[in-house]
Amino acid sequence: MSFVETRYEHIVVDPQGVPLVAETTMKVVELVMAQTAYGWSPEELHFQFPHLSLSQIHSALAYYWDHRDELDGDIARRAKEVDRRQLQAPSASLGARLREQGLRECP
């Protein structure tokens, strides 16, 4: 697979146009989503993802801020896809499956 280098030392773009942390499988949007969801600092991201250096994390965050509109659109698209798949997936809850069959759960 051929990657395109960027002006960000630790960021490459794969053939599908997805920015990744170089020499890893970590997508920039995955790191940003973790930071957003949990409010993690770069240091906490490093603790949670020890395979990434602080330099890689800071480079990924800089890339995000410089391409925020594009990556926020990608994050929104991913969230919609998750929602769509969850609606199509069969219910995993036993109670819900019993109710669908007209049965009740035992007290």
Show me where the domains of the chain are located. Answer: 4-100
Render each residue's pLDDT in the chain as its tens digit; 107 residues: 778 777 889 999 999 999 999 999 999 999 999 999 999 999 999 999 999 999 999 999 999 999 999 999 999 998 899 888 888 877 657 777 777 777 765 65
DSSP helix/strand/coil, 12: strand
Output phi, psi for 71, to 5 deg: -75, -35
CATH topology of domain 4-100: Arc Repressor Mutant, subunit A (1.10.10)
Q: Which residues, 6+ apart, have CB-to-CB distance to 80 below 8 Å?
A: none
d(CA 55, CA 42): 9
Q: Which amino acid is at 89?
A: A
